[in-house]
């Protein structure tokens, strides 16, 4: 009798310890993830400097515009923390048309002046949106997106399109991202210059 009643007691105690251990391990993992993300966020200039080097290496010797834009979007999507969409829209007439990207399928055509992308293109300036739900006319392509940055792309004075990044984290993008992404776009365009884009 004693052993029969002791067994379930031990099992229960074991189950409790195991649940607590799991909770503890999960809390440790979350804390480590938060520290890693914070470290990456603190080191944004370093991260962008490293991305410039990686982008140059990806572009080296290759002048296929679509291939290069595709690789750049993959580089950004996979290297920047807390990003759920990264890609290009290129100007065709009076609208922006979806280019190479990483993330969920997105709306294909954005008229100039519409959405964050259309406003950035029309105003010819980088736009940081800390909370997309507060941006009038924001075009929601992925329900997971909560913040966004859009960087216009120029070849000299000519607007080619925009680079767009989304994040599920409110307030994910700041001036350091704007600076880093503008530098990456400049490297990209300088490489493609003279290709008759």
C-beta closer to ligand SME: residue 59 or 103: 103
In what helix (H) or strand (E) does residue 162 lie, and over which residues does it extend? strand 158-167
Phi/psi for 130 (5° steps) reads -65, -35
Query: Which residue, judged by CB position, is nearest to ligand SME in the bound state?
Result: 115
| Closest by Cα among 182, 164, 187 to 45 | 182
Which residues contribute to the site for ligand SME (CB under 6 A)? 85, 106-107, 110, 115-118, 138-139, 141, 145, 148, 164, 166
Neighbours of 47 (CB within 10 A): 18
Q: How far is the CB of 186 from ligand SME (least distance, A)?
A: 22
* Exposed/middle/buried for residue 141 (C-beta within 10 Å: 0-12, 13-18, 19+): buried
**CA dihedral defined by 18, 22, 28, 31, rounded to 10 degrees?**
-150
C-beta closer to ligand SME: residue 90 or 191: 90
C-beta closer to ligand SME: residue 29 or 133: 133
C-beta closer to ligand SME: residue 59 or 132: 132
Q: How far is the CB of 83 from ligand SME (least distance, A)?
A: 11
Residues sharing a CB contact under 8 Å with residue 41, sequence separation 6 or more, in sequence order: 81
C-beta closer to ligand SME: residue 81 or 168: 168
Q: In what side-by-side order are the strands of the sheet with 85-92? A: 109-111, 95-103, 85-92, 158-167, 147-155, 127-129
Q: How far is the CB of 162 from ligand SME (least distance, A)?
A: 8
* Furthest C-alpha separation in the chain: 88
C-beta closer to ligand SME: residue 164 or 192: 164
Q: How far is the CB of 164 from ligand SME (least distance, A)?
A: 5
Q: How far is the CB of 80 from ligand SME (least distance, A)?
A: 15
Q: How far is the CB of 167 from ligand SME (least distance, A)?
A: 10
């Amino acid at each position: 009798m004693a052993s029969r009643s002791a067994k379930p007691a031990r099992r229960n105690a074991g189950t409790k310890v195991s649940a607590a251990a799991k909770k503890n391990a999960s809390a440790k993992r979350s804390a480590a993830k938060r520290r890693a993300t914070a470290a990456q966020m603190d080191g944004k200039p370093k991260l962008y400097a490293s991305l410039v080097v990686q982008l140059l290496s990806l572009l080296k010797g290759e002048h296929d515009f679509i291939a290069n834009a595709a690789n750049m979007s993959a580089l950004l999507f996979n290297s920047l923390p807390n990003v759920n969409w990264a890609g290009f829209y290129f100007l065709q007439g009076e609208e922006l048309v979806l280019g190479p990207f990483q993330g969920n399928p997105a709306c294909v055509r954005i008229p100039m002046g519409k959405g964050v992308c259309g406003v950035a293109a029309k105003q010819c300036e980088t736009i940081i949106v800390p909370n997309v739900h507060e941006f009038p006319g924001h075009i929601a392509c992925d329900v997971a997106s909560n913040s966004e940055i859009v960087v216009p792309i120029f070849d000299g004075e000519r607007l080619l399109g925009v680079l767009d990044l989304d994040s599920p984290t409110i307030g994910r993008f700041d001036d350091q991202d704007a600076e880093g992404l503008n530098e990456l776009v400049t490297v990209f365009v300088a490489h493609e210059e003279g290709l008759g884009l």
